[in-house]
Structures are given as C-alpha cells and as structure tokens.
Amino acid sequence: MKGSQVSDQHPAGASFAGPVVPGFHPDPSVCRVGDDYYLACSSFEYFPGIPLFHSRDLVHWTRIGNALDRPEQLRLPTSMPSSGGIYAPTLRHHDGRFWLIVTNCSEGGGNLLVTATDPAGPWSDPTWLPDVPGIDPDLAWDEDGTCWCTVAGVSQVALDPYTGRTLGEPRRLWSGGPGAKAPEAPHLYRIGDYWYLLIAEGGTERGHGISIARGLSPNGPFEPCPANPILTHRGTDHPVQNTGHGDLVQAPDGSWWMVFLGARPHGGTPGWHVLGRETFLAPVTWEDGWPVVGDILAPGDDGPGDPYHDDFDLTELHASWISVRDRSAEHCTTKERPGSLTLRARGTSLDEPDAVFIGRRQQHHACQARASVDPAQGCGGLAVRLDEQHHYDIEADGTEVRVVSRVGSVRAVVATLPVPAGPVVLGVRITEPPERYDPRTGPDLVSLGVERPDGTFAPLATLDGRYLSTEVAGGFTGRVIGLYAAQGVVHFDWFGYEQLTA
C-alpha cells in the first residue's frame, strides 16, 4: 500500500469507493464470529462511548449500539479537554464472550475492560486495570489460556481479564522501525507458526503508517518485516492520507483483510480534513509469511451513509446520537413533550464544556441538515461542532435568528434576521468549493440560514470550512452536526440530514 497498487478484491464480490464507515470513526478494531463481523471505534469526549457496528461482508456496516452507554460505565468530567476521553478500543471474541479493552484518558480514568455476550449490549460495568500502563491496550490469548495485554510503547503484561489483576511486571517488546515516533495501536495475533505484532507508528498525521513483526512466542523476540511499513501513504498524492492504526481479520473463505483509519484532505495547501479520521478497508495477501496490504480504490464519493430523519417519536434516542461529555434526562429528553426533543440549557453557549448538545457525525463532504426549532422558552438551534473553540451555529430566541462563528479566541455574531414568534426551520448546507485551482482554497463552504415557507433555503451567512478542520483546530475528532440549547428550554420537532449530490 506504499505505492499506487489498486486491488479489485472485495468480500462477496462487492465494489466500493471511499470509507466503509464514513465520518469521525477512527481507530477501528474488528473481530469475526462465524459469518458476522463486529467493529468498534474511538469516541473521545462524546457520550455514549465506543460506537459498535455489524457487517456480513466488511463493506456494509450497520450501527448496533455503543459499548459505554451508561453513566456508571463512562464519566467524562468538564475538566477534560475535547479530544480527551475514550481512546483506541480493541474488540475481541474469546470463550463465548465479547471483550472490549480501552483507555479513558480523563481525570480518574485509565485502562478498563467490559464484556458482553451480545455485542449489541448490554455491556458490563467496567473492570478497571490500574496496573496496566499506557494507552491503546490490546488483548490476545495463547494456547494455554494466558491473556496478554499489549499497550502503546510497546510493552506487554499478562492479565487476568476477569479480575483486572496483572500477572507479573510489564516488559518491553518491539517498538517499530528506527526513528519512527509514536509506536502505538498494538495488536497481537497467532497466525500459522508465528505470533505477529502489528503496530501503528509515525504519529496520526500525514506520516502515519503500520508496521509488523513476528516471533515464535507472544513475548517475542520479534523480527521486523523487511518491507515495513506495510501500509502508509506518506509522501504520496493519494486522496486518502494519515493511513494507519489498523486491525487484521480473516474471512470465512480464508482471505485476509485490514481495517484502518485514514483522512481525506480537501482544498488547497496543506489540505484540510473535516470529517475526522474514517474507517477504510483493504485486502491482505501473504508473501513469505508476511502480510502485503493492497490499496483501497481512490474514493469517488463519500461512501455509505443513508439520509436520516428523526421525528423524536421514540422514548429513547437512536444509538447514533452523541452528546458532549454526558447526557442526563434532566437536560435531554423526548418524554417531556411527546414527539419532540427537549433540551434544557446548562451553560450559556457551545463555548462551554458543559454545553447541552446532541448531534450526529457529518459523513459526507456535501450535505445538509435541517431542524424545526421552538425557542419560545429559551435560545438554541443547529450547530456544526469540532470543539468548544471551533463551531458555527445558527440559533433562534423567539425574536431573531443569528449566525454565530467561534474560531479560536474569536466569537462573533456574523448575521441576524428578525423572525416572528413560533417554531422556525433552521438549516446548514455544506458544499465543496468552486472548481478552480488555488492553493489557498479551503475544503468546503458552510452556509447557515432559514427555510422559507415555500421550502427553499435562505442562507444568512456562508463561512469558510477550513476553520472547522483538524489542521486548524488540532485534536483527534471530526465534525458533528446537531442541536443545542444555549438558554432556557428549547424544543425540536424534527431533525433531518442528507447527502447533497450534484
């Protein structure tokens, strides 16, 4: 995958272009049970944590839940910065049970393990692992039943997964190629006569990649692959960059595959990725006992992602809705006004770490979101959020609609429009920039406005999307589009999201 090789091998004869799980879904970990595949991703500061997916072909994935969906499983304090929280899960199936090990990078956090007999849940309360150091923990069992936990760095310790007790002291293993920074995301596998240690290295930016080593024991010593890194797009013009942090899986027919994260920068120089790091898939073959990763097809579109409409008729929200740090029934409910989502403000704006916000990941480069808002008792609206310091909002307070831009330390009201009292339909439309070459061109344009009575969209302001990108804001997440309350109580009758096509 270091060059321009393109593979036409796909499970079940499928063809696809782009990510198999689009939008902010990084650090994928996959396991197979029979004919079923299950996938978990990082969730960082969002609650519920660790989205879970199911597939029969590795290409088409359906959301089945979240592993950490109860407050007793996941506490993310307001003191924790955005891009903290839940890092790099490993999902495995062993002895009739699903095991998920992950790091909570927040105050009072650490490494933890949860289990389930059904990956759709419920998952157990956490077993904390206070003696497991580092981040990005992995689980693997050897022939005599010993469970080995390997973490970024790369070090390893034997673990009793039922109690969380470590058995012995951590020991260092192979940590990647000479001079490669940030050896992380280790995964250990028994394949044939060897134990293989797969790691990410080079940092999760443009230099990201994956390397592998093998040994006759799960403890090593490990011999590095002579073709390392076996996956990287560093130094190329491939449309998918930052490729790394992968996991291997074997299909029932004996073929091998790798899921991994990547980003799709758009615009001029240096390129801005706004959807976050997404999950991609590539075929794997074996030569001389080493894996060779084929290339994904260059993305021609944004991949899967159906239109979504929520009338808030159910008592429980769909698993795809995520909130910042927590979600309490006091501040977010569909039960107060049947057929509506009610948000009760806690902070004063989305600038605050305890903002009441509920959103869905942006999954397409060209898309629109709309919502019917009743602000009679407060102020709130629709936002495109990257973090507390980088978001665009359109909000209503019963007398006017206004567009708010927060970029770094600068917060500005960029447009206002008087409106009569009563519900109003607010909209966000995200489009790619005009077809022209300019190295300064941003990745997209974000228009925020209202819907007229005839159903047409009237933008109040169009803003440069580069300021809601990882290259500007930093961090590890991607855009989330959703609803918020800034003051008082705000009711939302419905929310809709869809891809825009030419």
Q: List, for residues 201-239, the tens digit of each pLDDT value.
A: 999 999 999 999 999 999 999 999 999 999 999 999 999
| End residue of a domain, out of 193, 227, 261 | 227
How far is CA 346 from each of CA 326, 395, 404, rounded to the nearest angstrom?
A: 12, 16, 19
- Domain membership of residue 385 (yes or no) is yes
More confident: 500 or 433: 500
> Could you tell me if 15 and 22 are in contact, meaning their C-beta atoms sit under 8 angstroms apart?
no
Are 472 and 331 part of one and the same domain? yes
> Which band of pLDDT confidence, cut at 50, 70 and 90, is reported for residue 306?
low
Q: What confidence score (pLDDT) does residue 303 get?
A: 53
Per-residue model confidence (pLDDT) at position 335 = 94
Q: Does 360 lie in the same domain as 215? A: no
For β-strands 480-499 and 367-387, DSSP reports them as antiparallel
Looking at the structure, tell me whether residues 76 and 186 fall in a common domain. Answer: yes
Across the range 135-155, mean pLDDT stands at 97
Percent of the chain at pLDDT exceeding 90: 88
CATH of the domain at 143: 2.115.10.20
* Structure tokens belonging to residue 282: 């590539």
**Cα→Cα distances 463→66, 172, 383, 402, 443, Å:** 33, 49, 13, 14, 11
Q: Are residues 223 and 312 in the same domain?
A: no
How many other C-beta atoms lie within 10 A of the C-beta of residue 459? 17
Q: Are residues 202 and 313 in the same domain?
A: no
pLDDT, tens only, 348-371: 899 999 999 999 999 999 999 999
351 is a domain residue = yes
What pLDDT shows up at residue 430? Answer: 98
Residue 4 within any structural domain of the chain: no
Q: Which domain holds residue 406?
A: 308-499
Q: Is there a single domain that holds both residue 316 and residue 196? A: no
Contact 127, 163 (CB under 8 A): yes
Tell me if 192 is assigned to some domain. Answer: yes
Q: What pLDDT digit, counting tens, does each position of 79-103 carry?
A: 999 999 999 999 999 999 999 999 9
Q: CB of 102 within 8 A of CB of 92?
A: no
Instruction: Give whole-number Cα distances, 435 to 431, 443, 444, in Å.
Output: 12, 11, 11
| Alpha-carbon span 26 to 40, nearest angstrom | 9
191: left (phi over 0), alpha (psi -120 to 50) or beta: beta
Q: Give the residue-averaged pLDDT of 469-487.
A: 98
Q: Which residue has the higher pLDDT, 6 or 51?
A: 51
Give the pLDDT mean for 240-244. Answer: 96
User: Cα(209)–Cα(231) distance, rounded to whole angstroms?
Assistant: 5
Active site residues: 27, 184
**Tell me, what's the pLDDT at 295?**
85
Decide if 251 is inside a domain. no
For residue 3, pLDDT over 50 is answered with no
305 has pLDDT over 90: no
Same domain, 314 and 445: yes
377-420 pLDDT, tens digit per residue, is: 999 999 999 999 999 999 999 899 999 999 999 999 999 999 98
Mean pLDDT score of the chain, rounded to an integer?
93
Domain end residue (candidates: 202, 227, 252): 227
Note whether 330 and 213 are same-domain residues: no
The residue type at 493: D
9 pLDDT higher than 60: no
Please calculate the CA angle 408-414-417 and round it to the nearest 5 degrees: 145
Q: Which helix (H) or strand (E) holds 261?
A: strand 256-263
Q: Are residues 218 and 323 in the same domain?
A: no
- Does residue 302 have a pLDDT over 80? no
Pair (84, 199) in one structural domain: yes
pLDDT for residue 301 is more than 80: no
Domain end among 162, 197, 227: 227
The maximal CA–CA distance of the chain, rounded, in angstroms, is 73
CATH number, domain containing residue 396? 2.60.120.200
327 lies in some domain:
yes
Query: Whole-angstrom Cα distance, residue 392 to residue 402?
Result: 11
What secondary structure does DSSP assign to 456-488, as a single string?
A: -EEEEEEEEGGGGSHHHH-SS---EEEEEEEEE
Strand 480-499 and strand 356-361: the pairing is antiparallel
Same domain, 53 and 199: yes
Which residues in 170-194 are b (16+ Cβ under 10 Å) and which e? beebbbbbeebebbbbbbbbeeeeb
The residues near 95 (Cβ < 8 Å, ≥ 6 apart) are none
* Section 423-431 average pLDDT: 97
Q: What SS3 class is residue 398?
A: coil
pLDDT at 299 over 90: no
Show the CA angle centred on residue 35, arms to residues 30 and 40, nearest 5°.
Answer: 20
Residues 339, 211 share a domain:
no
Let me know if residue 233 belongs to a domain.
Answer: no
Inform me whether the pLDDT recorded for 437 exceeds 80.
Answer: no
- pLDDT surpasses 70 at 6: no
Q: Is residue 53 part of a domain?
A: yes
Residue 123: predicted pLDDT:
98
For residue 161, the Cα-to-chain-centroid distance in whole angstroms is 26
What pLDDT sits at residue 148?
A: 98
Does the pLDDT value for residue 189 go beyond 80?
A: yes
Count of domains observed in the chain:
2
